[in-house]
Structure 1
Amino acid sequence: MWGWIFVFLALALLVYLYFLKRELRKLKEEVKEMPTRASFGSRLSLAFRDKALMELIDEWNQIIDAFEEKNLQAKKIEENVKLSIVGLSHDLRTPLTSIKGYVQLLDATTDQAERARYLSIIESSVKRLIEMTDHFYDLARIETNQKEISLTSVSLPSLVEEIFLSYYEQLEEKNIELHFPEQIMDRQIIADPLMLTRVIQNIVQNIIRYAKSKAVIHYRNEDDYIVFIVKNDIKPDSKVAVEKVFMRFYTEITSRTNTEASGIGLYLSKKLVEKMEGKMDAEINNDWFILQIHLPINRM
């Protein structure tokens, strides 16, 4: 009797080893093909239900998932870099061409008044180039997760007023009236001061370029956020598409001949706000362009 039991166990063991060896050969072939198949939802599987092998397959599949996620992120970054290069070449070409033309005009004239005007235009174009490159640099660092964030308590109204008033001369030159709330309470938020400064600067520059004659600022509380609301009247011939204002490289003037806008400002601002755990929305209501920026309240 014991002999038959021994024979049965030996046969069972041989069958087990046969199926185990077959599954290992199958896994070996699948692993060889992983470099070419992993980016297309490939998963390892087993027909032989062995607990130890199943646990091993689960671990491998988790590695495949992580690989595919990183591969997808790498492709997104690659596409973003391509888009940035294309946008950069378009946006820098116009001011560079302008600078080249005015340098030639400057070289050809001896009239001091004309020379002063050309120099002023060249200086303005150079400043715009610096601003554009700063935008592209910040954007590249955000989209590759290289831009560090340092959250601290910030008085939102104080910072907003300081930055808007620093553009007073440019707003006055464009005949844009600026209206602050009559009563401003000290509203403390949690934000990165440098990032928030860049967001507010971009908003002011957007107003200077596109507002008709007026900009209004106010605040409200909403759950765990302070909502910073900025609205400006829009020009009668405005063609702004509100659903596109946060798209990369979108400008109201889509012919790409606009030397004043790169189409990065609001796109970058939204990215910065989201990195600070906030959100940013836009709408058009009765000929007013309205931005709403939700920023977390400092509860401490």
Structure 2
Amino acid sequence: MSTKTAKSPQYMHAFFILLALGIILPELTGTYLFDIIVQIRQSIHSGDSGFLILAAMASCILYTIPNLIFYLSYECLLAYINGKFAFSLRIHNLILILCFVLGKYAWLVLFHQPVELVTSLIALSITLELVYLTKHKERVLMPRVFIGFQVFFFSQWLNVMPLFSGLYTGTSDIPVSIKIASDYLNNTYILNSIGFAFIVPMLLSSIMTALIFRMYITNLGIMEENYQKAIALENMQSKIMDNRIYQEINALAHDLKTPLATIRGLSSLLALAKDINKIESYSNKIDEAVTKMSEMISSFLYGTSRQWLDVSSLIGYIRAQIPVEDEQISFTTDIEKDLPELYVNKIRVSRALVNLIENAILAPCASEEKRIELKTYRALNDIVIVIKDNGMGIAESDLNKIWQIGYSTNKTTGLGLPFAKQTIDENEGVIQIESQYGIGTQVTVKLPIKEKGEITCPA
């Protein structure tokens, strides 16, 4: 069901409510019209212009209410019709003006109520222009209520201001009585001045109201556009991370070649072996290779998988993944002796550290020889792994962007650092990057030391 179809019954209900209110309005306002006449007589008898000004203001309010009700009711009716048969805004306005004129004559014939057609049409035209200025794509009532009330109210002052008598305004009984009384009291200047005091500010106010609604709609559009862009960006990042997982699967497949080759070679030897001791030795090595493969696959598939791992073995495994063949790259390692074992996901942590080292290798360098240092030591309850290079470094303005998926200063995929941070975080570690542009970059990874008694659930 479309939005227009869903809202159509609501517009029709609003139309009938406003129509009913318009029908009973003469009964509700009859007493107030009589009070206005009394105030006009009091001003003439007492010579007090204050009564006349109050009568003029009350008259404007009472003329505003039916005009606003008629206008809103026709807007609701046309919004309902538009929900069934869509038509342009120009046709909508022409039909609305026609309905408004016919409604005013029906109001005069059926209820014998005063009709000021000229000022009403002026107010309706201004209201429609200001509503168009709001750029509301849907025919909602809220801007029409606020704008319509202000415009219809200040336009009614044209009826009671003697200055505009020649424009066929204020031809009904009460406005004519007010203008005659003002002429009798010689205060036409005062009445004209008060009229302008209402017309000018409220005209500006109605324009400002339209602009506020326009800004509101514009901001909603921008927010919706940003929301859609955020969704598109999130989907793109998800696809990028899927691509990263594909790359990690390739790396895992490459790592599995070694134990598979071992199993294949030992299986061939096992078929030829006749010595029982050799058969047992080959079988044990095959079992070790299968166990290693199982650990590697579990580590990759399950982020919560953990293994006890010697730090030197971890660094050796990482070093094997990065065969540095470029003679202009100096790669050194410094591992503190007797470090405690780590309880981490071996494959994922290894891949994260490999990504960090690959970033250091790819970083541009001003000097002829690029130096990469890998240092590991203990600091309180953490094993600290430091990767330092003498590349060009990262600009300070880019340091807060490096963790964003897809962001890269080396024309890479921009996935290595986000993947590394995610992996280190999953293993309860901390990763920090310090860099000075033109000097180099240092990446510090801290992984917590755990006692074997602290681990309650095996990996």
TM range (shorter): 0.3 to 0.5
TM score, norm. by length of structure 1 = 0.48
Structure ranking higher in strand proportion? 1
Higher relative contact order (CA 8 A, sep 6+): 1
TM score, norm. by length of structure 2 = 0.32
Larger radius of gyration: 2
